Amino acid sequence: MGYFSKIATALALLGCASAAPAADAVATLEILGHISPKCSIDLQDSTIVRELTDGPGSEQVGLSVDCNQRLVVNLRSQNGGFLHESGHRDSGSPGFISLLPYTATFEVDASGASPVTFRSDEMIAGASGSIGVAPYAARGELVLNWSPEKPLIGGAYNDVIEIRVSGEGETGSSPI
């Protein structure tokens, strides 16, 4: 085969090769990720001792919360109010009370957060509400307010409040 014949054959082969459509190669990459849901709460004080009077009163407890989901708070009251040491909801003495109801407001200092308020009698079975945001390392407080309708019978009063915060993941609780 002569020189020009070889070139002609090579050009013909190249022409055939370039005239055929090239096969495409396709690869697909799916990217998945996950971050574990978390929600936690810490209280500045776990016990409050105060002198009650027959007049209105208020107490607040500082707290910190950290949640990577919209926070839901559940408040549960052991007694449904400050209950006299006798354990009787009726004082047995006309004109006096032995169960002092209160309201509890859970507030968080986070942009867009709404306070959640419940009456102590609602909290016996547990009362839940959303603050509407996911608070990242936020501070807040639980505020208790009361106003006796009648004078209190003398003696000690107590209640235990369980505060449970959650998103869709972990929960943390802290009785006060």
The residue that leads in pLDDT, 9 or 70, is 70
Q: Is 4 left (phi over 0), alpha (psi -120 to 50) or beta?
A: alpha
Q: What is the mean pLDDT of residues 86-110?
A: 91
Task: Give the H/E segment covering residue 1.
Answer: none
Kindly tell me if the per-residue pLDDT of 25 is higher than 80: yes
What is the share, in percent, of the chain residues with pLDDT greater than 70? 83
**Fold classified for 39-175:** Immunoglobulin-like (2.60.40)
Radius of gyration of the chain from its Cα atoms, rounded to whole angstroms: 34
pLDDT at position 168 over 70: no
Q: Where are the domains of the chain?
A: 39-175
- Does residue 10 register a pLDDT over 60? no
For residue 3, give the 3-state DSSP assignment: helix
Say if residue 73's pLDDT is above 80: yes
Residue 13 has pLDDT above 60, yes or no: no
pTM of the model: 0.77
Neighbouring CB atoms inside 10 A of 141's CB total: 16
Q: Whose structure tokens read 């004078």?
A: 151
